[in-house]
Amino acid sequence: MLRDISTIRTFEDIRLFYFKYKDLPEFRLAGVLVVFLLGALIVWKGILPQTHDWFSVQDEIKATKERVSQLQANQSLIEGMAQSKLDKDYAVAATALPYQKDYAGMIESIDGATTVSNMERNDYSIEIGNLSTKSAQLSPQTTITVKVSLQGDAAGLQKFLSQLTKELPLSEVVSVEYTDMAVSLEVNFFYKYLSPSTKFPYTNPIQTLSPNNQKLLKDLAIWQNAQISLDAPNFLPTETATESGN
Amino acid sequence: MSSEINLLYSKKQRRKYKLSSQVRYLRLGALGFLFLVTLISMTFFLLVVASPLTSLKQEELKQNQILTQSEDKIRKQTLLILRMNDISTIVAKRSVFDQILKAFISKLPKGVRIKEFTAEKKQVTLTVQSSNSKDIEVYMDLLGQMVSAKTYLSRVFLDSIAIEVGNDKQASDFRARFIITLL
């Protein structure tokens, strides 16, 4: 039979070969083998990739469903928020922790605390530091130090320190020196640039304020004085936070 | 019955016939397998084509477009949360020198006054002055109680006591200097 195969040249040869051997079990067996091979080829090239595709599609469906559900949740949350309250809260938070150095706010804070405590204010200096370096502009959280000299008694100093914790922008007294009515203080005022990498994908869950932060925000709003409406920052991350204004 | 009669199958022929019938079954099996494989392939193809992915993607796009209209709100809310988290950390970690000084002042016995108060990080230096040594002693006890009660203070160290002698050769002024470690 193998010899006959090697002599096949034309279609007629194939026909003769077929009729000569078609009834042989080996010939039929070869046909069966070909069919099985064909089936295996379909499994390998067709079904396996399709199975993979199907599982990928299922994963994608699941992920998309989750995203859609999150988008719907975000939408209902956002719809329930009053724009005016959000603007107000945002302004309070941005005044408490400004996006850039708020010199006017710092001076007003010290003035406010001095007035409330009946202390007498002498000189004060502000240590600004390097404005131009990239690291200065992108530092995650920074402070600016103000050195203050005051005159008054210990009770007045206590009132001053207490009042300063309620002034915005937020500050921290890092050192106090009180000797015989003379006070010198080092106060760090906080500010924080907005990281340029901050993203706002809609599919992320939009959070709401925790009860603690709600209470803190209320306190901040109480502490905030009349200057807020004058200097409320209108900063959104479409712009890059830089020190260009200083 | 003779094996020479041509109508009967020889042993070889019988084996051949048996093999042929087995091949028939195999052929049927092969065709069945091919049909099954084709059917499965078609099913998967139809499942992929009929999946709701396209409609879900459209829904996602639609929701995104709706939220784009509230972009300002989303940004403000996100920034508000970030800012409040930072503020919360700052407020929690701020020094409480005002409260410490308030506690020192509130415990001052009559006739005792604060002469010096320096504070930095976790250390406070406090100098009190009085014309009466007893009052200084009382104040020392009170500071000790603050340590015991863990009210801001973890340790009080009496650094020095200075006594000023007046013109009448009597002790007229007492000063005690404390070095205090905060909690």
A35-88 pLDDT per residue, tens: 889 888 988 988 898 889 889 999 999 999 999 999 999 999 888 888 899 999
Q: What is the pLDDT of residue A12?
A: 87
- Which residue from A31, A39, A78 is facing B73, i.e. has the nearest CB? A78
* Mean pLDDT calculated for residue range B32-50: 87
Cβ–Cβ below 8 Å for B67 and A175: no
Contact A93 B84 (CB under 8 A): yes
Q: Determine the Cα–Cα distance for residues A132 and B61; give it in Å rounded to an integer.
A: 42
Q: Name chain B contacts of A66, Cβ cutoff 8 Å.
A: none
A80 touches B: beta carbon within 8 Å: no
Q: Given this model, what pLDDT does residue B114 score?
A: 92
Question: Residue A132 has what pLDDT?
Answer: 53
Answer whether A216 sits within 8 Å of B91, measured CB to CB.
yes
Indicate the residue of B66, B73, B86 with minimum beta-carbon distance to A141: B86
Q: Answer whether A239 touches B (CB < 8 Å).
A: no
Angle, vertex CA B101, rays to CA B99 and CA B102, nearest 5? 60
Amino acid at A20: K
Question: Is the pTM higher than 0.80?
Answer: no
| Range of weakest confidence among A158-167, A226-235, B18-27, B158-167 | A226-235
- pLDDT of A63: 94
Residue pair A5/A17 in contact (Cβ under 8 Å)? The answer is yes
- Which CATH number applies to A83-231? 3.30.70.60
E strand or H helix at A178: strand A171-179
DSSP A88: H
Average pLDDT on B99-104 reads 93
A198 has pLDDT over 80: no
For residue A46, the chain B residues in CB contact (below 8 A) are 37, 41
- CA A120, CA A212: separation in Å to the nearest integer? 36
Q: Which of A160, A186, A191 is CA-nearest to residue A175?
A: A186
Of A138, A235, A145, whose CA–CA distance to A196 is shortest? A138
The residue of B41, B68, B127, B173 whose CB has the most chain A CBs within 10 angstroms, and thus the best one to mutate to test that interface, is: B41
Q: Does the pLDDT at position B67 exceed 70? A: yes
Which residue, among B73, B102, B182, would best test binding to A if mutated, counting the most A CBs under 10 Å from its CB? B73
A74 within 8 A of A206, measured Cβ to Cβ: yes
DSSP secondary structure letter of residue A23? T
Within 8 A of A216 by CB-CB distance, chain B residues are 84, 87-88, 91
Q: Indicate if the pLDDT at residue B68 is higher than 50.
A: yes
Closest CA to A172 of A154, A187, A157: A187
A and B: number of Cβ contacts within 8 A:
214
Left if phi > 0, otherwise alpha if psi is -120 to 50, otherwise beta: which for B174?
Answer: beta
The domain ranges of chain A are 83-231
- Token duo for residue B25: 């079954």
| A223-233: average pLDDT | 52
Cβ–Cβ contact A181 with B under 8 A: no
CB-nearest to B41 from A42, A97, A175 is A42
